[in-house]
Chains A and B, each alone.
Chain A
Amino acid sequence: MSSEILPLVALVGHPNCGKTALFNALTGLRQKVANYPGVTVERVESDLRVDLGHRLRVLDLPGAYSLNPQSEDERVTHEVLTGGSAAENRPDALIVVLDATNLRLHLPFALELLQLGYPVCVALNMMDLAASSGMQINVRALQDALGCVVVPTSATRQDGLQSLAQSAAESLGAQKSGSTVQWKPSSRAEIIARRAKVDEILRRVIENPGNPSALTAKIDRLTLHPFFGPLLLLVVIVAIFQAVFALGSIPADAIDFAMSAFADFARAQLPVSLFTSLLVDGIIAGVGAVLVFLPQIVILFAALLFLEDLGYMARAAFLLDRLMGRVGLSGRSVLPLVSGFACAVPAIMGSRSIQSKPQRLATILLTPLMTCSARLPVYTLLIAAFIPDQKIFAFVNLQGLVLTALYLAGALSALSFASILKSLNLIGSSGYFLLELPTYRVPSLRTILRGLYERARQFLVRAGTLILSIMVLLWAISTFPRPPEGATDSPIRYSVAGKLGQFIAPVLEPVGFDWKISVAMIPGFAAREVLVSALGTVYAVESSDSEDNSALADRLKADWTLPTALALLAWYIFAPQCLATFAVMQRETRSWRLTLLSFTVLLVAGWLAAFFTFRIASALL
């Protein structure tokens, strides 16, 4: 190793050994997060925080049960450790993290890792839990049996971190790196032999077994109860939805307000020019369009990270497996899909917690069908203008009924899309379901905050830049070329967007949309609610108050027929008119093909829905 490249120590262990909490306790705030090539698994590396007098890099390898990979996560760990990946990515030493409360499950993997020949030291993690459950472990005996240093640690209490870092640093010098050892998959006989050896070791090491899973068993009696379990889960889902929907809209509205105040200020201070227009309508509006998603992303991820760290996510997956498995999804798909009713952007990012790749992709593809809150301004404008505010059957409000029908149509079409994906074998079979239910533990604030920071950063850097660029592009095509001298129509009509809208008008004519709707739809691809202001622009309806659209509603009522309005509502059940959704979809799936496929399918579905609505309504009304 050169003086430039610091030695790399990898943390490796089972998915529920507290590895990430230990990583967060060991390392500083600056993390280097990247993706392993070709997969969506994150590679997290950071510098050692503990002061040893010299620096070390620490790598948090994805959790694995063994070197015989069953998931994308495990494949990465397997590749990094057994030489499938480039030599410079290989660690110089390993810290094998074991859950002290369940050594019988965790030790066989340690034995397997020791055979690789890397310098190893063992972190006997969760010692605080082991001790409080009455468990007594002879650390010296374990050290003798494994032939490497064993350091008792507790990530939550920050115990043993200094000596763990010390031991890891010392192990580096003691042995040669294990890059030359040839790895062979373990046979069944070897797995059984390792287990026998572990039992033999534990007879010497465990002085008092205690009962570390007693509390978890008690909690599970409630959370997995045949009646109260699903009830609690329902409460959790509704609470998260409410938080994303209602709580998230407060800071989102504040950002909206601040950005438009800033835009007004800039407009007032700067001369009327092309540059001002670019700054105000392109850049400031674009930055606002990115920032406005942050509160919802943060709230959703705070909830997801909390439940994951608590150990509840695995229980939710268990309770929902049957229901979601029927349409080829995983129990973990539920929380992202439900939050899609608030906004598809955090929902698509939230699907990261789904381990199976096909199920994760399916969840991402279905999310845009959930009726997100950005559709509401369009729905309310059209419903207020065209659906009479009257009661049918004495108590059902017709406007409310139409709104409910729109929500239901979205959810039902998601279910049928899922069935189609499943029958085309695109999701594959619903896979296997074999899941360890981790011991409940108090979530670590540090882990949650770091996770939140990282997600927010990734959204801003990866998706935000893409959203901003498309916003500026949309501004450009709605502005250029400028209207000729003495033009009377709305300026947008003369722009590229206007020309584009008139160009696609023949395609939209059969579904009852005139050229004005077509033109308004082009900037409407920025975000669904933009259609409202774009219609205002096309119809040149001046509205000083963005909350009050009654002038626009009156204008539309005069100009459109009822079938046209109904067709536009139907269009919006599917319409892919939210570039942020597709920007995030591309960033999360790393596939333009899949993103474009989703966009096209939704476009076609929206057209068909509008077409049939328009034709049927025209025939009946």
Chain B
Amino acid sequence: MTVKSLKLARKGDICRVVDVVTGHPLSDRLLELGVHSGELLAVVHEAPFSGDPIVVDVCGTRLALRRSEAELIFVSEETSSGKEDNS
């Protein structure tokens, strides 16, 4: 199992959250929005042209975030081209 930062994920990736970095102003907010370790997370959209920000789906909640915020989230890859929805 390879652990990587969500920052590097591409559209269509489905991963499992391994950890959310502590100590950042957004760390707790990410937890409150449902990004907990063990959750499945799908990268469902990338912004046009630059691919940044991205939209992830975590148990039915769609979150738009920049890759610089995605850096706080560590994931392990489940599949890189599966179904788009996990809910």
- Say if the beta carbon of A393 comes within 8 Å of chain B: no
Nearest A residue to B84 by beta-carbon distance? A217
**Chain A residues within an 8 Å CB radius of B29:** 65-66, 68, 70, 434
Chain A positions 99 through 124: 1 when the CB is less than 8 Å from some CB of chain B, otherwise 0: 00110110011000000000000000
- Contact partner of B64 (CB less than 8 A), chosen from A65, A68, A314, is A314
A303 to chain B, nearest CB (A): 22
9 A-B pairs within 8 Å (CB atoms) are namely A66-B29, A102-B61, A108-B32, A191-B28, A213-B85, A213-B87, A432-B66, A434-B65, A437-B63
- Say if the beta carbon of B22 comes within 8 Å of chain A: yes
Number of interface residues of B (CB under 8 A): 35
- Contact partner of B48 (CB less than 8 A), chosen from A65, A188, A217, A229, is A229
Chain A positions 418 through 447: 1 when the CB is less than 8 Å from some CB of chain B, otherwise 0: 000000000000001111110000000000
Q: Give residues of chain A (166-200) contacting chain B, Cβ–Cβ below 8 Å.
A: 186, 188, 191-192, 195
The number of residue pairs between A and B whose CB atoms lie closer than 8 Å in the complex comes to: 114
Q: In whole angstroms, what is the CA distance A437 to B57 when docked?
A: 10
Q: In whole angstroms, what is the CA distance A101 to B59 when docked?
A: 11
| Beyond A433-B64, A435-B63, A437-B64, 7 extra complex contacts between A and B, CB < 8 Å | A192-B36, A211-B87, A217-B44, A321-B66, A325-B66, A433-B69, A434-B63
Q: Give residues of chain B (20-55) contacting chain A, Cβ–Cβ below 8 Å.
A: 22, 25-34, 36, 44-50, 52-53, 55
B9 to chain A, nearest CB (A): 16
Chain A positions 448 through 484: 1 when the CB is less than 8 Å from some CB of chain B, otherwise 0: 0000000000000000000000000000000000000
Q: In whole angstroms, what is the CA distance A226 to B60 when docked?
A: 22
- Say if the beta carbon of B4 comes within 8 Å of chain A: no
Contact check, A434 vs B69: say whether CB atoms are below 8 A apart.
Answer: yes
Knowing A104-B59, A220-B44 touch, does A318 contact B64 (C-beta < 8 A)? Answer: yes
Contact check, B60 vs A104: say whether CB atoms are below 8 A apart.
Answer: yes
- Contact partner of A105 (CB less than 8 A), chosen from B22, B34, B52, is B34
Contact check, B30 vs A188: say whether CB atoms are below 8 A apart.
Answer: no
Contact-size category for A: 35 or more
Q: In whole angstroms, what is the CA distance A211 to B86 when docked?
A: 10
Shortest beta-carbon contacts, A-B, top 8: A437-B62, A318-B64, A224-B45, A435-B64, A226-B48, A433-B66, A191-B31, A66-B32
Q: Give residues of chain A (218-275) contacting chain B, Cβ–Cβ below 8 Å.
A: 220, 224, 226-227, 229-230
Nearest B residue to A229 by beta-carbon distance? B48
Nearest B residue to A321 by beta-carbon distance? B53
Contact check, A434 vs B55: say whether CB atoms are below 8 A apart.
Answer: no
Q: In whole angstroms, what is the CA distance A224 to B43 when docked?
A: 13
B69 to chain A, nearest CB (A): 6
**Chain A residues within an 8 Å CB radius of B63:** 434-437
Contact check, B53 vs A224: say whether CB atoms are below 8 A apart.
Answer: no
Q: Give residues of chain A (63-113) contacting chain B, Cβ–Cβ below 8 Å.
A: 65-66, 68, 70, 101-102, 104-105, 108-109
Contact check, A437 vs B55: say whether CB atoms are below 8 A apart.
Answer: yes
Chain B CB within 10 Å, residue with most, of A214, A216, A432? A432
Knowing A105-B34, A224-B55 touch, does A435 contact B65 (C-beta < 8 A)? Answer: yes
Q: In whole angstroms, what is the CA distance A108 to B36 when docked?
A: 13
Nearest B residue to A325 by beta-carbon distance? B66
**Chain B residues within an 8 Å CB radius of A317:** 64
Contact check, B49 vs A432: say whether CB atoms are below 8 A apart.
Answer: no
A183 to chain B, nearest CB (A): 15
**Chain B residues within an 8 Å CB radius of A102:** 60-61
Contact check, B33 vs A65: say whether CB atoms are below 8 A apart.
Answer: yes
Chain A positions 315 through 343: 1 when the CB is less than 8 Å from some CB of chain B, otherwise 0: 00111011001000000000000000000
A177 to chain B, nearest CB (A): 26
**Chain A residues within an 8 Å CB radius of B62:** 213, 216, 220, 436-437
**Chain B residues within an 8 Å CB radius of A216:** 62
A323 to chain B, nearest CB (A): 9
Q: In whole angstroms, what is the CA distance A435 to B65 when docked?
A: 6
Contact check, A432 vs B69: say whether CB atoms are below 8 A apart.
Answer: yes
Chain B positions 2 through 20: 1 when the CB is less than 8 Å from some CB of chain A, otherwise 0: 0000000000000000000
Nearest B residue to A185 by beta-carbon distance? B28
A536 to chain B, nearest CB (A): 50
Contact check, A433 vs B60: say whether CB atoms are below 8 A apart.
Answer: no
Q: In whole angstroms, what is the CA distance A230 to B48 when docked?
A: 7
- Contact partner of A68 (CB less than 8 A), chosen from B28, B46, B84, is B28
A291 to chain B, nearest CB (A): 40
A514 to chain B, nearest CB (A): 50
